[in-house]
Structure 1
Amino acid sequence: MKDHAVTDPISEAIAQSRATPRQTLRATVPAMEDRLYTIHPVLDHGFVRAVDYMGDDSAIVQAARVSYGAGTKKARDDAGLIRYLMRHWHSTPFEMCELKLHVKLPVFVARQWIRHRTANVNEYSARYSILDREFYIPAEDHLAAQSTTNNQGRGQVLEGEEAARVLEILRHDSMRAYDSYEAMLSQDGQQGLARELARMNLPANIYTQWYWKVDLHNLFHFLRLRADAHAQYEIRAYADVICEMVKDWVPAAYAAFEDYRMNGAHLSGKGLDCLRRMLKGEQVSQEGSGMSAGEWREFQALISG
């Protein structure tokens, strides 16, 4: 059974925050106001919740018009200007919006996530506090073998006895490690090991929590990589939930991001040259393209869909 409970006293603070709305003069987005402090479950014990946000689509437009001048407003509507900014990689106006999230996630997912070094992060400290006995155990349909063609990917889903064997190992080792963690911390008739040392015995599938604050430009970069179909499933599950939040928060910006970044494509100079030649009716081969075999395969996959 899935458990996405938030540890007290945090849950009490969440309930209190949602029960006491405040007036403000700053820009607000009704759909994001509804999402504030709301738990969105991810995986078996994880979640994402929006803690705060700053700005909206109009903040992006306002920042751009400061740069380009008031005359811009007559030439384009807001959505059109946002699309122009996205299309031409003008990223600074998107940095005017920020989002702060509270995330509960497995440690191995956190280590992937933290590679995005353009955010502010404050993580739950196992030096001062004792971690909960909560571990990520994959659902059977996400328990896959190593890919034979991609060192970073998954192959076929494990089935039957092999799946059961792996799940039993994961559950058993997680619980045994936590039992040892508790035993080392115990002060029953002994001093007990320091928390900062005892934590090193815990597996990478134990859950941690953090606050993560990022501007919209860098959030889009995170989502472009982590909400992609090729991303690892576990971090993609979080990215998919955040995508839905961002869609509510800045709908015009998200639509432009989805069109140009998620569903768009980037061609090299050689690729563009080949495409132009093909449109003229020329037959183009890898040998005549100037591309490596790998580049040619990717180019062919791109233009063939």
Structure 2
Amino acid sequence: MPLSPEQLEQIDAQRSQTQQTLRVVSAGMESHLYKAHEVLDHGFVRVVDYMGDDGAIVQAARVSYGAGTKKARNDEGLIRYLMRHWHSTPFEMCEIKLHVKLPVFVARQWIRHRTANVNEYSARYSILDREFYIPAPEHLAAQSTVNNQGRGDVLTGDEAQRVLDILRSDAGRAYDHYEQMLNQEGQEGLARELARMNLPANIYTQWYWKVDLHNLFHFLRLRADAHAQYEIRAYADVMCKIVADWVPAAYSAFEDYRMGGANFSAKGLDCIRRMIAGEEVTQEGSGMSKGEWREFEAALKG
């Protein structure tokens, strides 16, 4: 269970407190504030603070004092224009701060997005909990034979059980040794900052992660993609639902132009124009490598 009864009680207490404010609020985001959305077996994502809404994006683009005289559909059209033409600064006017509980190996992927502010739970000062990510059977897959970064067929039967047994036993044994090494219960022991080095990469950590909407969209474009590793994609999928409620017009444009759209090279555009003109274009006559051509065909087929 990702959250203890005490933690759930604390969240309910936070959500019960309301204050009057002159700042802009997003009704959709208010419904998510402080709630923990469960991810994987012990993880979660929860919003602890945010700034701005769709109106803040429009206001920044127009540098206006307020809502102005434009109609909502014009605001949505402007947001779509900004997204379509890769404008970034208006989207940077919105920010979100998340509390995330995630496996360490997922955190190592996540931290590659260096445009956020991060503060992680410190295993130098505190003792990590005995919580490890163990994949569900349907996500236990062999190495892909065609993609060095991907997964192949799902393991089944005795082989799947063998792998799960190894994962559980290794994680448990490492944590047992971690506890045995710690300076606690009257023994001299090892400092926490050293004892932690023996812990496996599937142990859970936590952090606060604050990012603006422009860079959050970049994170989601990569991590909510079907080709992303499942474990980080599970977090991105939850975040997509939160963002869709927070800034619906901006998220709709993002979904259309970034998630559902495609970018083509100059060679790709030339091939499309030739195809429209009725010419039969092959990889050999496209000027593209075999890899580029496969990706080009995949984008056309959708």
**TM, length-normalised to structure 1:** 0.94
**Separation (CA, whole Å) in 2 of partners of 1:130 and 1:166:** 27
**1:272 Cα offset (Å):** 0.2
**Separation (CA, whole Å) in 2 of partners of 1:80 and 1:27:** 21
- 2:38 aligned residue (16, 19, 41): 41
Matched residues, number: 300
Which letter maps to 1:5? L
Give unpaired runs (5+ residues) of structure 2.
none
Q: Which residue of 2 aligns with 1:285?
A: 282
Kept in 1: contact 2:183–2:191 (CA 8 A): no
Question: What CA deviation, in whole Å up to 9, does each residue of 1:193-229 have, x standing for no partner?
Answer: 0000000000000000000000000000000000000
- Which shifted more, 291-300 or 125-134? 291-300
Kept in 2: contact 1:136–1:207 (CA 8 A): yes
Question: What CA deviation, in whole Å up to 9, does each residue of 1:59-118 have, x standing for no partner?
Answer: 000000129xx99948x7000000000000011100000010000000000000000000
SS of the residue 1:122 aligns to: strand
- 2:234 aligned residue (212, 233, 237): 237
SS of the residue 1:77 aligns to: helix
Which letter maps to 1:200? M
Q: 2:2 matched to 1:4?
A: yes
- 2:24 aligned residue (12, 23, 27): 27
Kept in 2: contact 1:100–1:212 (CA 8 A): yes
Q: Which residue of 1 aligns with 2:246?
A: 249
Which letter maps to 2:2? H
Matches within 5 A, 1:263-302: 263-302=260-299
Q: Could you say what the CA RMSD is over the residues aligned between the two structures, in angstroms?
A: 1.9
Kept in 2: contact 1:144–1:155 (CA 8 A): yes
- 1:204 aligned residue (201, 205, 229): 201
Q: Which residue of 2 aligns with 1:146?
A: 143
Give unpaired runs (5+ residues) of structure 1.
none
**Separation (CA, whole Å) in 1 of partners of 2:180 and 2:196:** 12
SS of the residue 2:216 aligns to: helix
**Separation (CA, whole Å) in 1 of partners of 2:18 and 2:43:** 26
Q: Which residue of 1 aligns with 2:210?
A: 213
* CA shift in 2, pair 1:43/1:114, >3 Å: same
**Separation (CA, whole Å) in 2 of partners of 1:216 and 1:292:** 35
- Which shifted more, 256-265 or 17-26? 17-26
**1:7 Cα offset (Å):** 8.7
Which letter maps to 1:204? A
Matches within 5 A, 1:117-156: 117-156=114-153
Runs (4+) of structure 1 moved beyond 2 Å? 10-16, 70-74, 186-190
* CA shift in 2, pair 1:179/1:30, >3 Å: same
- 2:167 aligned residue (166, 170, 195): 170
Kept in 2: contact 1:65–1:72 (CA 8 A): no
Which letter maps to 2:160? A
SS of the residue 2:113 aligns to: coil
**1:287 Cα offset (Å):** 2.2
Q: Which residue of 2 aligns with 1:77?
A: 74
- 1:107 aligned residue (97, 101, 104): 104
**Separation (CA, whole Å) in 2 of partners of 1:13 and 1:246:** 24
- 2:49 aligned residue (34, 37, 52): 52
Q: 2:75 matched to 1:86?
A: no
